[in-house]
Structure 1
Amino acid sequence: MTRRRSTAPAKPQDPHHQREAKKYANPIPSREFILETLAAQGVPLSSDELAAALALKDEQDVIALERRLGAMVRDGQLVRNRNQVYCPVNKRDLIAGRVIGHPDGFGFVRPEEGGDDLYLYPKEMRALFHGDRVVVRVSGRDRRGRLEGAVVEILERNTRSVVGRLYKEGGVGFVVPDNKRLTHDIIIPSDRINGAEQGQIVVAEITDQPTQRTQPLGRIGQVLGDHMAPGMETDIAIRTHALPVDWPAEVESEIADLTAEVPEAAKQGRTDLRQLPLVTIDGADARDFDDAVYCERKPKGWKLLVCIADVSSYVQPGTALDKEAQARGNSVYFPDRVIPMLPEILSNGLCSLNPQVDRLCMTAELYINGEGKVTRTRFFEAVMRSQARLTYDQVAAMVVDGDGELCERFAEVLPHLHELYQLYQVLHGTRAARGAIDFDTTETKFVFTDQGRIEAVVPQVRNDAHRLIEECMLAANVAAARLFQRKRIPAVYRIHDTPSEEKLTDLREFLGQLALKLPGGPKPTAADYAQLLEQVQGRADRRLIQTVLLRSMQQAMYSSDNAGHFGLAYDAYTHFTSPIRRYPDLIVHRLIKHLLAGGTAADLDLSKIELQQVAEHCSGTERRADEATRDAEDWLKCEFMQDKLGEKFDGTITSVNSFGIFVELDEVYVDGLVHITALDNDFYHFDPIGHRLHGERTGTVYRLGDRLRVQVAAVNLDDRKIDFVLADAAPRGGGKRPKSGEQKQTPSSEPAAGKSRSRGKRKRQSGGSKPAS
Structure 2
Amino acid sequence: YFPRRVIPMLPEKLSNGLCSLNPGVDRLTLVCDAVISAKGEIKAYQFYPAVIHSAARLTYTEVAAILANTKGTEAAKRPALVPHLLHLYDVFQALLQARHVRGAIDFETTETYIVCNAVGKIEQILPRTRNDAHKVIEECMLAANVCAADLLERHKHPSIYRVHAAPTKEKLNQVRTFLKQVGLHLGGGDTPSASDYAELMPKIKARPDATLLQTMLLRSMQQAVYSPDNIGHFGLSYEAYAHFTSPIRRYPDLLTHRAIKAILQGKRYDPKGFDTSVLNTTLSPAARKKQALDKAAGKKKHEGDVAVWEALGIHCSANERRADEASRDVEAWLKCYFIRDKLGEEFTGTISGVATFGIFVQLDSLFIEGLVHVTELGADYFQFDEARHELRGERTGIRYQLTDRVTVQVSRVDLDARKIDLRLVTEAGIHAVLKNEARRAETEQQARGKKSTPKVAGPTAATIKAGKGKRAKSTATAEKSRSPKTHAKTGKKNRV
Report TM bin, short chain. 0.7 to 0.9
Deviation at 1:698, TM superposition (A): 2.1
Shift of the 489–559 alpha-carbon distance from structure 1 to 2, 3 Å rule, reads: same
Match of 2:214 in 1: 546
Deviation of 1:559 after TM superposition, in Å, equals 0.4
* Aligned pair partner of 1:488 in 137, 141, 156: 156
Describe the superposition over 1:346-400 as per-residue Cα deviations: whole angstroms up to 9, x where unpaired.
Answer: 0000001110000000000000011110100000000110001100000000012
**Distance change (3 Å), C-alpha of 1:732 and 1:556:** farther
Please give the alpha-carbon distance, in whole angstroms, between the structure 1 residues aligned to 2:365 and 2:338.
Answer: 13
- Shift in Å, 1:766: 4.7
Question: Is 2:448 the counterpart of 1:448?
Answer: no
CA 1:354–1:533 in 2, change beyond 3 Å: closer, same or farther?
same
CA distance in 1 between counterparts of 2:396 and 2:55 reads 67
- Mean Cα displacement is larger for which, 559-568 or 542-551? 542-551
Q: What CA RMSD, in Å, does the superposition of the two structures yield over aligned residues?
A: 2.3
One-letter identity of the residue aligned with 2:440:
K
1:410 and 2:78 matched: yes
- The Cα shift of 1:742 comes to 3.5
Deviations along 1:621-656, one digit per CA (max 9) or x if unpaired, are 101101111111111111111000111111101111
What CA distance in whole angstroms lies between the structure 2 residues aligned with 1:422 and 1:731? 52
- Which amino acid in 1 is paired with 2:363? L
Rate the CA distance shift 1:368–1:658 in 2: closer, same or farther, 3 A. Answer: same
Rounded Cα–Cα distance in structure 2 between residues aligned with 1:335 and 1:406 = 28
* Cα distance change, pair 412–689 in 1 and its aligned pair in 2 (3 A): same
The one of 335, 354, 361 aligned to 1:663: 361
> For each residue in 1:455-512, what CA deviation from the matched residue of structure 2 results, as whole angstroms up to 9, or x when unmatched?
1111111000000000000000000001111112212100011111111112212222
CA distance in 1, matches of 2:269, 2:121: 53
Aligned mate of 1:518, from 163, 175, 186: 186
Residue 388 of structure 2 is aligned to residue 687 of structure 1: no
State the match for 1:739 in structure 2.
Answer: 440
Equivalent in the alignment of 1:499: 167
Alignment partners' CA distance in 2, 1:696 and 1:625: 41
Give the drift of 1:729.
Answer: 2.6
Structure 2 distance, partners of 1:538, 1:618, is 39
On the 8 A contact 2:37/2:94 being kept in 1, the answer is no
* Cα separation, 2, equivalents of 1:671 and 1:726: 14
For 1:526 and 1:491, how far apart are their aligned partners in 2? 25
Name which of 603, 606, 625 aligns with 2:323: 625
2:97 is equivalent to residue 429 of structure 1:
yes
Describe how 1:233-244 pairs up with structure 2 within 5 A: none
Contact kept in structure 2, 1:637 and 1:670, CA below 8 Å = yes
Provide the residue aligned with 1:673 in structure 2.
371
Shift of 1:725: 1.0
Q: How far apart are the structure 2 equivalents of 1:500 and 1:529?
A: 14
What SS is found at the alignment partner of 1:419? helix
Match for 2:248 among 576, 580, 585? 580
Secondary structure at 2:427's aligned position in 1?
coil
The 1:610/1:704 distance shift into structure 2, 3 A limit, reads: same
Instruction: From the two aligned structures, give the one with the greater helix fraction.
Output: 2
Identity of aligned residues (%): 50
- Contact 1:494/1:556, CA 8 A, preserved across alignment: yes
Would you identify which runs of 4 or more consecutive aligned residues in structure 1 move more than 3 Å? 600-605, 730-735, 747-751, 753-759
| Of 543-552 and 661-670, the range deviating more from structure 2 | 543-552
How do residues 309-320 of structure 1 correspond to structure 2 at under 5 angstroms?
none
Aligned pairs (5 A) from 1:193-342: 333-342=1-10
Are 1:723 and 2:424 an aligned pair?
no
Aligned to 2:176: 508
Query: 2:52 matched to which residue of 1?
Result: 384
The one-letter code sitting in structure 1 at the alignment partner of 2:411 is A
2:215 aligned counterpart, secondary structure: helix
Q: Does 1:474 align with 2:159?
A: no
How many aligned residue pairs are there?
428
Q: Which protein has the bigger strand share?
A: 1
Contact 2:164 2:224 in 1 (8 A): yes
CA displacement at 1:594 relative to structure 2: 1.0
Consecutive unaligned residues of structure 1, counting only runs of 5 or more, are 1-332, 760-764
Q: Which has the larger radius of gyration?
A: 1
Task: State which of 622, 634, 651 in structure 1 corresponds to 2:332.
Answer: 634
Match of 1:567 in 2: 235
How far residue 516 of structure 1 moved from its aligned partner, in angstroms, is 1.8
SS of alignment partner, residue 57 of structure 2: strand
For the residue of structure 1 that corresponds to 2:31, the secondary structure is strand
- 1:341 is displaced (CA, Å) by 0.8
For 1:451 and 1:748, how far apart are their aligned partners in 2? 44
**Contact 1:655/1:756, CA 8 A, preserved across alignment:** no
User: Which of these residues, 694, 697, 700, is aligned with residue 395 of structure 2?
Assistant: 697
1:755 and 1:514 map into 2 onto residues whose CA distance is: 30
Question: Structure 1 residues 722, 360: CA separation in 2 closer, same or farther (over 3 Å shift)?
Answer: same
Aligned 8 A contact 1:653 1:705 in 2: yes
Contact 1:335/1:633 (<8 A) preserved: yes
1:757 CA drift (Å): 4.5
CA separation in 1, counterparts of 2:303 and 2:47? 20
Give the gaps of 5 or more residues in structure 2: 272-301, 445-473, 480-484
Shift of 1:734: 4.5
Q: Is the 8 A contact 1:488 1:601 kept in 2?
A: no
Residue 437 of structure 1 contacts residue 527 of structure 1 at CA under 8 Å; is this kept in 2?
A: yes
TM-score (norm 2): 0.82
> Whole-Å Cα distance in 2 between the matches of residues 606 and 629 of structure 1?
33
Q: CA deviation at 1:731?
A: 4.8
8 Å Cα contact 2:382/2:475 also seen in 1 = no
Q: RCO (CA 8 Å, sep 6+): is it higher in 1 or 2? A: 2
Question: Which one-letter code corresponds to 1:551 in the other structure?
Answer: R
Q: What is the CA–CA distance in structure 2 between the aligned matches of 1:534 and 1:652, rounded to whole Å?
A: 23
